Amino acid sequence: MKLLVVLSCLLVVLSNGVSASSDVAAFMKHLEVIPDVIDEGPKDFLTVTYDKIFKADKGVELSPTQVKNQPVVEWEEADPSEYYTLLMTDPDAPSRAEPKFREWHHWLVGNIPGNNVSKGDVLSAYVGAGPPKGTGLHRYVLLVFRQSKKLDFDEPRLTNTSGEGREKFNTRKFIEKYGLGAPIAGNFFQAQYDDYVPTLYKQLSGK
């Protein structure tokens, strides 16, 4: 399944004659991240690595167990003198067929100096994938935006022990609110229910 997804996307890229610099947008269009989340894709891939092993790349399928811990995220054009915003969001809540809670955002960090995510302002703490049972594959989209300056975010600060305040997030409105423009880098993976999900739900219930 994982290999088929990647090969399918590669065939689309090759058949369209897409250049290497825009491959990420081609993958996002193929699995409809464009237009479900954003209108314009980034030109560079994010490197997203879980536990030094698992790569969240080009729509590959990973399990909730594999992505339960916060990943290491890096991007090439990271200038240490500039600030960036990192977002991870799921447009398929509670399912891709019926996304009535679109989007459910999993991670939001602003004012990141360069690509030092640990030094940024955590607006929403990281929460891994938790697709409800029987809802099929969800897309988990990670995007980075270059800020024009250090920003005063008025978003509520969300912990990883509650799911409140994460549903019906709108990436387009967030971009417009803070004048972020098109993302400079991005990537995404897919996941469906596994036996770790009930543990995550318990965490989000505060118990």
CA 36 to chain centre: 13
Residue 206's pLDDT is: 82
**CA 205 – CA 194 distance, rounded (Å):** 18
**CA 207 – CA 201 distance, rounded (Å):** 9
Angle CA 154–160–163, to nearest 5 = 80
Residue 191 phi/psi, 5-degree rounding, is -150, 155
| Domains of the chain by residue range | 2-204
Inter-CA distances, 76 with 43, 73, 168, Å: 11, 11, 30
What single DSSP character describes residue 175?
H
Inter-CA distances, 138 with 69, 84, 129, 130, 188, Å: 18, 26, 9, 9, 10
Residue 207's pLDDT is: 67
First-to-last alpha carbon distance for the chain, in angstroms, is 35
Inter-CA distances, 172 with 87, 89, 94, 177, Å: 12, 12, 20, 9
Residue 77's pLDDT is: 83
pLDDT in tens for each of the 207 residues of the chain? 444 444 445 444 434 433 444 589 999 999 999 999 999 999 999 999 999 999 999 999 999 999 999 999 999 989 999 999 999 999 999 999 999 999 999 999 999 999 999 999 999 999 999 999 999 999 999 999 999 999 999 999 999 999 999 999 999 999 999 999 999 999 999 999 999 999 999 999 986
CATH architecture of 2-204: Alpha-Beta Complex (3.90)
